[in-house]
Chain A
Amino acid sequence: MKRRDFLKGSLQSGAAVLTGGALAPITAEARPNFQPKEDAIGMLFDSTLCVGCKACVAKCKEVNDMPPVTESEIRAWDEARDLSGDTLNVIKTYKNGDASTKDAETNGFAFEKRSCMHCVDPGCVSVCPVTALTQHEKTGIVSYNPDACIGCRNCMAGCPYNVPQFQYDKPFGQINKCQMCNQKGVERIDNGLLTGCSEVCPTGATLFGTRSALLAEAKRRMELKPGDTYTYPRGDVRNPGSYHDKRVPTYKQHIWGEIEAGGTNVMHISSISFDKLGLPPLGERSACSVAEGVQHSLYSYLALPAVLMAGLSYVVKRNTDEEGEGS
């Protein structure tokens, strides 16, 4: 087959499809960002409260029944360095200079949590070709259906935070990501419980609640005067299990996840700028809201494969005819 023939065939049949209007109108217009759901469930991570005890990491493994990740032969404890097929939540460290002062950018250190941000406009859901990743209608929780997944790992590329991870070491690997402890078989949220990590956090660094209540709490903390004492809640922000008093640090006036790429249901606040804590530079628009117009139109109702198929059929038919004539 000649390249020229193939392209010609494709274009001709494509044009036929378009003019025939057999498919939905293909418009490459970008849609706006999704808006946060009214009762969206989320978490607030306050880096200044985190003491690095990793209670959240241990509880996460327990709730989600995942093995510890060890790098050396000594299997003393979980040594996960990043999210992986066996780790949905990890505490990482920012270090600068002699790392002597907590929550200082120079010569300081800070702890930062890595787990799914549960985007308001999730990229992974947008790019998944088989709807294995879905966002819950009411809670906004982004969950994963292993039975639908074909293992294409598009979600890993579609996530701005590098969250979904594939189990490369398993014969039938799955994608793994935090599903807010509400996946099939765990269903903590449905049963009125908190996420494992926010339940065990001793300082309330990981706080559970609705996105709106957490955002209000985060904004309240932004207003606090550094050095004052604030009563920090633990557990669920709407009905805290307990409180503790602590001196207010100097917060950066930035709530990560309020607007970033359409916002996230898991938000972060800190005393250190977020680029130092490894969060990517994101604008207000979500990438998928821009890309979806083109990408989804091309694939809607299998249009593009249909176009290709038509082109191929045409070329094959023509070639067969020519051969028939020639022989």
Chain B
Amino acid sequence: MAEKEFDTDGFDFSEVEKRLGVSRRTFLTFCMGVAGSLGLSTKSAFAMAKAIAEPKMRPPVIWLHGQECTGPTESLLRSEQPSLAHLILDMISLDYHQTLDAGAGHKVEEIKKKSMEANKGKYLLVVEGAIPVNDGGIYCKIAGETMLDLTREAAEHAAAIVAFGSCASWGGVQSASPNPTGAKGAQAVLTGKTVVNIPGCPPNPANFLGTVLYFVTFGKLPPLDAQNRPKWAYGRLIHENCYRRPHFDAGRFASEFGDEGHKLGHCLYKLGCKGPETYNNCPSLEFNNVGGGVWPIGVGHPCFGCSEEGIGFNKPMFALADVKTHTPPNNFPNIDDRQSSSGVSPGAAALGGAAVGAVVGATLVAAKKLSASDDSSNSDDQNS
């Protein structure tokens, strides 16, 4: 790699080393990893490193919890790099987070209000959990206010809004029928605002970190798909990158848990795997960064479709998925295709040759005899 790409313009990382308690090397490796999973260049990785190291670029973050199990936060706390908890707290200025705040009660609520006032239009809002809207939203209250009001209030002056987890993205488990509380995702209650969705139950922390770091570095959101999910993470079906896919294409399936096909690692489609209709990057990122195929399909359970609206918590766990390949594979024959002749085998060619030879020989002999008998008068001329 060119020397220039490693050029950090003499940036002093000693400050960040001290602040985060990690070596410069560990820190840069982490940034490189995040940039890599986003599909960005090394240059961007260094831009990211600088953005994190520069304290003045750290945006304040208001983090709200609605109807949920705190799964996304738990997932984030267990993300891969050892010093990630440090990093996430130092990369952003986490002004309000109900799970991680040291303080409690009126004090933290006061800090939140102050921060939102002071950082109008600059703070990042992260919503975790669904928002109930039935009966005026009374089914989820924090500090005497409904989650619905809190979300709308915080979203009003947010620079960007990220919905982290399936609950915040599209409602999650509580939005499944009969949905008595009218649980909805952040996007559904914040009409007219762009909400970046990072669905998953739990979502992969890398998808959140990557998106936030992109925002911190470039000051804008990464490219999003029709459902406002970052394309770099949710651009492809699990089915497309799944390492059990060759088994699907060859028609090899596990029919029940523990059968021969299951033991051999065959495709889990027949057991109800939702990979063919779920957009996520689980097959390439896996979970917990420990390798060894740590994610549902990797450990032998069909994908549940946790991140896909209308699939996870909605479709029966073992119901077959609709295979959403964009178009049928190119190597499939068309209706009017005919099999081109696969050529002639050596054996057939030899036999055919022998047959032709025999016929030719017999014809010659017959012709000779015929002409001999027919033209007996001048046979000498003909046959000499």
CB-CB nearest in chain A for B324: A102
Query: Who on chain A is nearest to B271 by CB?
Result: A202
B335/A91 in contact, CB under 8 A = no
CB distance from A179 to the nearest CB of B (A): 19
Given contacts A54-B251, A100-B326, contact A202 B320 (CB under 8 A): yes
Are A81 and B270 interface neighbours, CB within 8 A? Answer: no
Whole-angstrom distance between the Cβ of A49 and the nearest chain B Cβ: 9
Q: Is the CB of B319 within 8 A of A244?
A: yes
Asked whether A91 lies within 8 Å of B332 as measured between CB atoms, the reply is yes
Bitwise interface map of B from 263 to 304 toward A, beta carbon under 8 Å scored 1, else 0: 000010110100010000000000000000000000000000
Which residues of A lie under 8 Å from residue B272 when comparing CB positions?
244
Residues of B within 8 A of A91 (CB): 332-333
Size range of the chain B interface in the assembly: 35 or more
Q: Chain B interface: which of A168-176, A212-220, A305-313, A317-325?
A: A168-176
For the complex, is A111 an interface residue (Cβ under 8 Å from B)? yes
Chain B residues within 8 Å of A69, by CB: 339, 342
A56-64, A187-195, A251-259, A296-304: which one contacts chain B? A56-64
A171 with B320: CB separation less than 8 A = no
Contact A82 B250 (CB under 8 A): no
User: Could you give, for residues 239-252 of chain A, a 1 whenever the CB lies within 8 Å of some chain B CB and a 0 otherwise?
Assistant: 00010111000000
Contact of B320 with A244 in the complex, beta carbons under 8 Å: yes
Stretch from B124-132, B210-218, B344-352 forming part of the interface with A: B344-352
Contact between chains at A171 and B327 (CB < 8 Å): no
Q: How far is the CB of B328 from chain A (nearest CB, A)?
A: 5
Q: Please tell me if A208 contacts chain B, counting CB pairs below 8 Å.
A: no
* B334 lies within 8 A of chain A by Cβ: yes
* Bound-complex Cα distance A92 to B344 (A): 25
Contact B327 A109 (CB under 8 A): yes
CB–CB B319/A202 < 8 A: no
A278: Cβ under 8 A from any B Cβ: yes
Residues facing B in A70-112 (CB within 8 A) are 71, 77, 79-84, 86-87, 90-95, 98-100, 102, 109, 111-112
Nearest B residue to A242 via CB reads: B255
Q: Which residues of A contact B320 (CB under 8 A)?
A: 202-203, 244, 246
B381 surroundings in chain A (CB, below 8 A): none
Task: Describe B's contact surface by its main secondary structure.
Answer: loop
Whether the pair A102, B316 counts as a contact (CB closer than 8 A) is: no
Known: A54-B251, A77-B250, A81-B337. A102 touches B348 (CB 8 A): no
Q: Enumerate chain A residues within 8 angstroms of B252, measured Cβ to Cβ.
A: 55, 58
The answer to whether B373 has its CB under 8 Å from any CB of chain A is no
In the assembled complex, the Cα of A93 lies from the Cα of B336 at a distance in Å of 9
Output the nearest chain A residue to B326 by Cβ-Cβ distance.
Answer: A100
Q: Counting CB contacts under 8 A, is A238 at the interface? A: no
**Are B335 and A94 neighbours in the complex by a CB distance under 8 Å?**
yes
Contact of A93 with B251 in the complex, beta carbons under 8 Å: no
Which residues of the other chain, A, contact B340 by a CB distance below 8 angstroms? Answer: 71, 81
What is the CB-to-nearest-CB distance from B269 to chain A, in angstroms, rounded to a whole number?
A: 6
Q: How far is the CB of A162 from chain B (nearest CB, A)?
A: 9
A173 to B344, CA, bound (A): 11
Name which residue of chain B comes closest to A72, CB basis: B331
B3 within 8 A of A: no
Selected contact of A81 from candidates B328, B333, B351, CB within 8 Å: B333
Give Cα distance in the complex from A77 to B326, angstroms: 22
Q: Which residues of A contact B269 (CB under 8 A)?
A: 51, 53, 202
Are B251 and A277 interface neighbours, CB within 8 A? no
CA–CA, A227 to B331, complex, Å? Answer: 31
Per-residue 0/1 for B112-151: is the Cβ within 8 Å of any A Cβ (1 yes, 0 no)?
0000000000000000000000000000000000000000
* Separation of A59 and B250 alpha carbons in the complex (Å): 10
Beta-carbon contact of B249 and A53 below 8 Å: yes
Contact check, B251 vs A100: say whether CB atoms are below 8 A apart.
Answer: no
**Within 8 Å CB of A170, what residues of B?**
345, 347-348
Contacting residues, chain A, for B339 (C-beta < 8 A): 69, 80-84, 87, 165
Cα–Cα, bound, A80→B249 (Å): 14
Cβ of B10 < 8 Å from any Cβ of A? no
Q: How far is the CB of A236 from chain B (nearest CB, A)?
A: 15
Q: Given A84-B342, A168-B341, A169-B348, is A202 in contact with B253 using a C-beta cutoff of 8 Å?
A: yes
**How far in angstroms is the closest Cβ of chain A from B330?**
9
Closest to B347 in A: A171
Known interface pairs A57-B251, A91-B332; A52-B323 also in contact (CB < 8 Å): yes
Tell whether, in the assembled complex, residue A245 and residue B316 are in contact, meaning their CB atoms are under 8 Å apart. yes
A53 touches B322 (CB 8 A): no
Q: Are A169 and B337 in contact (CB under 8 A)?
A: no
Q: Are A92 and B348 in contact (CB under 8 A)?
A: no
Instruction: List, in ascending order, chain A residues with CB within 8 A of B178's CB.
Output: none
Q: Report the Cα distance A246→B334, complex, angstroms.
A: 26
Interface presence of B248 (CB below 8 A): yes
User: A133: CB under 8 A from chain B?
Assistant: no
Across the interface, name the chain A residue whose C-beta is closest to B343. A169
Q: Are B332 and A93 in contact (CB under 8 A)?
A: yes
A95 to B320, CA, bound (A): 23
Shortest Cβ distance from B79 into chain A, in angstroms? 35
Are A90 and B335 interface neighbours, CB within 8 A? no
- CB of A200 within 8 Å of the partner chain: yes
Chain A hits for B318, CB < 8 A: 244
Give Cα distance in the complex from A132 to B255, angstroms: 39
Q: Are A93 and B351 touching (Cβ within 8 A)?
A: no
Given contacts A169-B348, A171-B351, A80 and B333 within 8 Å (CB-CB) = yes
Binding site for A on B (CB under 8 A): 248-253, 255, 267, 269-270, 272, 276, 316, 318-320, 322-323, 325-329, 331-345, 347-348, 350-351
Could you tell me which A residues sit within 8 Å of B by CB distance?
51-59, 69, 71, 77, 79-84, 86-87, 90-95, 98-100, 102, 109, 111-112, 165, 168-171, 173, 200, 202-203, 242, 244-246, 276-278
A-B contact pairs, 20 of them (CB 8 A): A51-B323, A55-B252, A55-B253, A57-B251, A81-B333, A84-B339, A92-B334, A93-B335, A94-B335, A95-B327, A98-B327, A102-B322, A102-B323, A112-B335, A170-B347, A200-B251, A200-B253, A202-B269, A276-B335, A277-B335
- List the 5 shortest-distance A-B pairs measured between CB atoms, nearest first: A55-B251, A81-B333, A278-B335, A84-B339, A202-B270
